[in-house]
Amino acid sequence: MKEITREWVRSLLPIRRPEAHKGSFGRVLVVAGSREMCGAGLLCAKSALLAGAGLVFWALPESMQPSFAAALPEAITLPLPETESGKISAEGWPVLKNFCSKHGPSLLVVGPGMGESPLLPILFRENTLPTVIDADALNYLAGVQEFPRVPAIFTPHPGEAARLLGQDFTPAKEEERLSALQGLVALTKAVCVLKGRQTLVGAPHQTEVYRNTTGGVALAKGGSGDVLSGVIAGLWAQLGSAEKFDISSALKACLCGVYVHGLAGDLAAKIKTDYGVLAGFTAENIPSAIKEIVE
């Protein structure tokens, strides 16, 4: 097992060339949120921007759009039709498809706070974008056991991982956690991030497993996973735009993403303690974490 170190992450982070413009750093499409879990998309979209994505588009239930567009003016918001329970409806697909044709997103992040959205089956059937899959999108795929053929990143916590695998494991036992990660990679044929203490990362066609060395109990708060999926997406947008959206750039984004996210949590805890860190404050510390890595 190889440890993810600061020096290694420094060498992998995307380069910000002086002649670049916002289009150089990728366009992230976030499909996230519902009336019940409205903050998840905000945390994800904001974190993608703070990690360096050039543009972030956020598709969300139409009733949420006015207030959340004001909360994150740096993102371009797309209101989608919703069900009576406040989840994005299947009728949102034509709207989303037309938006993508016009704006050309580089990659998709799907799942945070969506609940059992009727859009999910259509989105996974029709999507051709490289995809970061989190939260409720993981739960949907666990039910159907059909996985995207596009380059993808899965970011489950242990409970979501167990549902995908169809079997429980003990996260505290290192050998079981390692076996679960390897099982996820084999099942999904994607880069997988198994969240938890010393988060693990694995990729197809590689025997090596990578263990994060940042982060602690301060991250044990609701919304931390939404921040992580946004960080990874923001970094992949840059790396993929500079290189290619494939397994190689996806793995680099995950290695950098888990380290940056963990370090942001560590920096936040120095101010707020392990007790008082909220996911939004972790997100605010993303730039400080990157600064500490590169300097």
Work out the burial of residue 149: count CB atoms within 10 Å of its CB; fewer than 13 is exposed, 13-18 middle, 19 or more buried.
exposed
What's the CA gap between 217 and 280, in Å, rounded? 15
Question: Is residue 113 annotated as involved in ligand binding?
Answer: yes
Question: Is residue 21 annotated as involved in ligand binding?
Answer: no
First to last CA, the chain: 27
What's the CA gap between 187 and 145, in Å, rounded? 9
Strand partners, 3: 211
Question: Is residue 226 annotated as involved in ligand binding?
Answer: yes
What's the CA gap between 282 and 227, in Å, rounded? 8
Question: Is residue 41 annotated as involved in ligand binding?
Answer: no
Give the residue among 28, 129, 37, 132 at the shortest CA–CA distance from 88: 37
Binding-site entries for AMP = 195-199, 225
Binding-site entries for (6S)-NADPHX = 40, 113, 157, 226
Binding-site entries = 40, 113, 157, 195-199, 225-226
